[in-house]
Amino acid sequence: MKGVILGINPRATVIDITHEVPPQAVRHAAFILAEACPYFPPGTVHAAVVDPGMGSERRAVAVQTPMAIFVGPDNGLFSYLLANQQTNRLVAVHLTNPYYWRAEVSSTFHGRDIFAPVAAHLSLGVAIDELGELMPASSLVMLPHLRPEVRPDGSIIGHVLRADRFGNLITDIAAEQLCGALTIEVAGRRIAGLKPTYAAAERGELVALIGSTDTLEIAVREGNAAQELRTRAGAEVIVRRVR
């Protein structure tokens, strides 16, 4: 993909966000994109691909937001990114114009043959609507359960979005939902309240805290929460208010 990009735009600055997303883990990748992309300069073109089940019926798409442009499969990969965007400020295009693809398109590697060349052309200033047919942003595939559920009793049912490389569990429960005294339940364990930092915990202690993405994070100080709790992306996390 990088060779293809540099062949089209030799001045492109190509940055890897990650190559560590597990196969088929669309939700994990979607969350990483939403975490990382806001920190890139305005106008950055993000090419993403996670599903080797390409060549299937999924559309190839590009989506322009006020801040950046995204290129990839229409399989929910942009769900977290787009969840907070006003639909009328998005331009979505079904990538149907082979003029901007590699001359030969394989059935298995759309990243190299479609997404990379399209991203490179976008970085050179090609307008998004030259790449194919405009489509309503509302028709883009979105993952279910993008937000935690708040129950009538004030408890919050959220989910683990991913484990980071330290085994810390990143959840979808936002910092601002976590006020007052509370307990956190995950994988049959109960944690009383939030710690301000990792360092405030004892070595080996299971803690909840506000992570670097301003969401609830479950960690073991100098340990691996994902391994200790045998928990990964998708696991339920319940926050209860203590009265």
Binding site for a second copy (CB under 8 A): 2-4, 6-7, 10, 13-15, 23-24, 36-37, 39-41, 44, 52-57, 106-109, 112-113, 165-166, 168, 196-200, 209-214, 217, 221-222
Q: What's the token pair of residue 142?
A: 């979105």
C-beta closer to a second copy: residue 170 or 186: 170
What is the H or E stretch that residue 69 is in?
strand 69-73
C-beta closer to a second copy: residue 80 or 137: 80
Q: Transcribe 92-148 into DSSP letters.
A: EEEE--GGGS-SS--SS-HIIIIIHHHHHHHHTT--GGGSEEEE-GGGS---S--SP
Q: Transcribe 151-197 into DSSP letters.
A: PTTS-EEEEEEEE-TT-PEEEEEEGGG--SSEEEEETTEEEES-BSS
Minimum separation from the CB atom of position 54 to a second copy (A):
8
C-beta closer to a second copy: residue 41 or 66: 41
Is residue 178 within 8 A of residue 239, CB to CB? The reply is yes
User: How distant is the alpha carbon of residue 44 from its chain centre?
Assistant: 16
Minimum separation from the CB atom of position 139 to a second copy (A):
20
End-to-end alpha carbon distance in the chain: 54
* Distances 42 to 38, 174, 206 between C-alpha atoms, Å: 8, 25, 38
Minimum separation from the CB atom of position 75 to a second copy (A):
11
C-beta closer to a second copy: residue 15 or 179: 15
C-beta closer to a second copy: residue 81 or 137: 81
Minimum separation from the CB atom of position 191 to a second copy (A):
17
Minimum separation from the CB atom of position 73 to a second copy (A):
11
C-beta closer to a second copy: residue 26 or 157: 26
What is the H or E stretch that residue 83 is in?
helix 79-83
Minimum separation from the CB atom of position 11 to a second copy (A):
9
